[in-house]
Amino acid sequence: MSAECECSEDKKRLLLVACNPNFRRTLERILSRCGYEVDGADSGEAALRLFESKSYDAVISEVALPGTICGLTVFDRVRRSRPGLPIIFLTECETTRLRAVIEQTIRVNCLSLPVDVDQLKQVIARTTANSAASAG
């Protein structure tokens, strides 16, 4: 994982949902160094509690999560509450075809795990900029 980044000019708040605590904390540190405020959740349930209590500029979530609420359910609830909010999925699925289906069907970015941090940072910057432009 590359730790270099271009700092975000205005602090964007991200909700990061990942079940592996080491991965989540590492990604939180990297994104924080890039100027983002990052809240981490280890399950869909925890993610929705945070989402209901704070305002976010983007949600980054694994598709497969422990508990009764998976990433797709998080997506559904977030979309109903804030339709234009950028959502980025992380998946261990190796097939490009499945990622393409996810991206085309529900119109979100989907990156493979292990995640390419530079690619993730680019997607975050692009989607939050697009979201801000369409909101303004």
pLDDT digits (tens, 9 = 90+) for 10-27: 789 999 999 999 999 999
* Top-confidence residue, 17 or 4: 17
pLDDT tens digits for 84-116?
Answer: 999 999 988 666 666 666 767 777 888 888 899
Domain that holds residue 60: 13-131
Between strands 37-41 and 87-91, the pairing is: unpaired
CA separation for the pair 134, 136 (Å, rounded): 6
Give the span between the Cα atoms of 5 and 49, in whole angstroms.
30
CATH number at residue 54: 3.40.50.2300
Position 4 in a domain: no
The number of distinct structural domains making up the chain is 1
DSSP β-ladder status, 13-17 and 37-41? parallel
Q: Give residue-wise pLDDT tens across range 26-65.
A: 999 999 999 999 999 999 999 999 999 999 999 999 988 9
CA distance linking residue 31 with residue 93, whole number of Å = 23
93 or 126, higher pLDDT: 126
39 lies in some domain: yes
Predicted local distance difference test score (pLDDT) of residue 89: 92
SS3 38: strand
Burial of 21 (0-12, 13-18, 19+ CB in 10 A): exposed
> Which pLDDT score is estimated for 92?
81
Residue 3: inside a domain: no
Q: Is the pLDDT of residue 1 over 70?
A: no
Question: Residue 72 domain-assigned?
Answer: yes
What pLDDT was estimated at residue 41?
98
